[in-house]
Structure 1
Amino acid sequence: MNGAVGALVGRVELRARVASRTLLGTLDPWEARGPDECRARRRRVTVLVVTLAALILAADYASAPFVRFPPFFVVPVALASWLIGPALGVVLAILLPAVRLLYFVLVFRPPWVAAELINSAVQMGVLLLVAYLVSRAARDTREIRLLKSFLPICLYCQKIRDADGHWRRLDEYMFEHTGIRFSHGWCPECEREHFPELAEPS
């Protein structure tokens, strides 16, 4: 029983820490999983996104100049921005069109290099906008999810306001949402304060 209470207190402290960081705008999306797992998962996702970007570049190279794959550059940029954060999304948004332009100009030597340069600049601008918008949407989604996890509780009667706006007793709410039942009693301090005749002499 004591271990369960300790685990519950640990989760509450972690949520409070994550909440305070969210309000300050520094929430790591995987922080709640622990630092080692966070780094490992971040590495795996980064490798996956970069591999996907490389595959799209390879397909673009293999099919050039007839079939063009730059519209698919949105996929790794959006995934990186959503799952990792805006930094990797911005890097991919700049690198993908730049690498494509570089090998297209070096391999095919088209006479319309100026047009390709303008197209690459437009692609970079669009991909940077995608990276920004997706990272903002990801941050907003995390904040909304976190705010939904907070329950308003009355300071005096300890009733909880549910999603419908009704105030209910804590034990009713917990039973409905988790199946946990409370047994009512009193602690030694409340026994001494409210029931001095029942309190054991100390």
Structure 2
Amino acid sequence: MMNKYVRVLIAITAVIAYLGALMYLPPNQPFFLLGIGVVGLVASLIGTVPGIVVALLLIPSTSYIYAQFAGGVSYASLLVSPVYLGMKFLAAFALGKMHSGKLSVAIKDEALKEANSRLQGALSQVKELGGIHNLCGECKQILDDEGSWQSIDQYLKDHTKMEFSHCICPTCAEKFKAEASTISAS
């Protein structure tokens, strides 16, 4: 995205170049129509309101230049015609709207980049298990990377963000009740 001051400088340069060109180009040609492009450029660089202001300011300055340098050809009536003014305002509104759309896209793009950066940071903190791990079929202990056996719950707690709350599943509860009743019966 271009710096705001650079955009303003380009817009001012375009207006000055337009007015200078009107003084030195052949006065018998309707070069004032280039003003529509200047208004559009200002609106696309800075916004709708500055484009409209430039459109309004170019009318008297262009009239003055043509009055001074045009000689026998008079474009003064065309400069204030509704069609010419409408084209200037249309350029200011359309290109100003496009400028504000580009700004909102740039703002959303920055927000998306920031959110993506935060998500990448969070993703880098995620612990993930993968590959094949040795697990004892009897006691369910797991062989860790250092070669020592530890309980599966401790291993998962160390290598993930898991927390455990111990309880008894219904199958083991039935098994425990059966063993307890056998022990109490004896």
TM-score if structure 1 supplies the norm length? 0.49
- Structure 1 residues 42-76: Cα deviation after superposition (integer angstroms, max 9, x where no partner): 23321221112211221121124223322322333
2:29 to 67, 75, 79: 67
**Counterpart of 1:133?**
94
Cα 1:67–1:107, aligned 2, differ >3 Å: closer, same or farther? closer
**Counterpart of 2:79?**
119
RMSD (Å) for aligned C-alpha atoms: 4.0
Q: Kindly indicate whether the alpha-carbon contact (under 8 Å) linking 1:56 and 1:69 is maintained by their aligned counterparts in 2.
A: no
**Counterpart of 2:55?**
93
Cα 1:55–1:147, aligned 2, differ >3 Å: closer, same or farther? closer
Find the aligned partners of 2:17 and 2:90 in 1 and give their Cα distance.
22
Aligned with 1:65: secondary structure? Answer: coil
Q: Kindly indicate whether the alpha-carbon contact (under 8 Å) linking 1:89 and 1:131 is maintained by their aligned counterparts in 2.
A: yes
Q: How does 1:147-186 map to 2 (within 5 A)?
A: 183-184=126-127
Question: Which structure is richer in relative contact order (CA contacts within 8 A, separation 6 or more)?
Answer: 2
Q: Aligned partner of 1:117: which letter?
A: S
TM-score if structure 2 supplies the norm length? 0.52
Q: Which entry has the higher C-alpha Rg, 1 or 2?
A: 2
Mark the runs of 5 or more structure 2 residues left unpaired by the alignment: 114-118, 129-155, 167-186
Mark the runs of 5 or more structure 1 residues left unpaired by the alignment: 1-29, 31-37, 152-170, 198-202
Cα 1:144–1:48, aligned 2, differ >3 Å: closer, same or farther? closer
- The farther-off stretch of 122-131 and 142-151 is 142-151
Q: Kindly indicate whether the alpha-carbon contact (under 8 Å) linking 1:45 and 1:84 is maintained by their aligned counterparts in 2.
A: yes
Please report how far the alpha carbon of residue 85 of structure 1 lies from its aligned counterpart in structure 2 after TM superposition: 1.1
Find the aligned partners of 2:94 and 2:165 in 1 and give their Cα distance.
63
- Structure 1 residues 3-46: Cα deviation after superposition (integer angstroms, max 9, x where no partner): xxxxxxxxxxxxxxxxxxxxxxxxxxx7xxxxxxx9xx323321
Q: Kindly indicate whether the alpha-carbon contact (under 8 Å) linking 1:70 and 1:97 is maintained by their aligned counterparts in 2.
A: no
Please report how far the alpha carbon of residue 89 of structure 1 lies from its aligned counterpart in structure 2 after TM superposition: 0.9
Find the aligned partners of 2:102 and 2:6 in 1 and give their Cα distance.
22
Please report how far the alpha carbon of residue 133 of structure 1 lies from its aligned counterpart in structure 2 after TM superposition: 0.7
Cα 1:123–1:97, aligned 2, differ >3 Å: closer, same or farther? farther
Find the aligned partners of 1:137 and 1:111 in 2 and give their Cα distance.
36
Q: Aligned partner of 2:7: which letter?
A: V
Cα 1:72–1:139, aligned 2, differ >3 Å: closer, same or farther? same
Find the aligned partners of 2:7 and 2:101 in 1 and give their Cα distance.
21
% identity of equivalent residues = 16
- Structure 1 residues 132-171: Cα deviation after superposition (integer angstroms, max 9, x where no partner): 01111222344456279659xxxxxxxxxxxxxxxxxxx8
Q: Kindly indicate whether the alpha-carbon contact (under 8 Å) linking 1:97 and 1:123 is maintained by their aligned counterparts in 2.
A: no
Please report how far the alpha carbon of residue 109 of structure 1 lies from its aligned counterpart in structure 2 after TM superposition: 5.6
Q: Kindly indicate whether the alpha-carbon contact (under 8 Å) linking 2:22 and 2:65 is maintained by their aligned counterparts in 1.
A: no
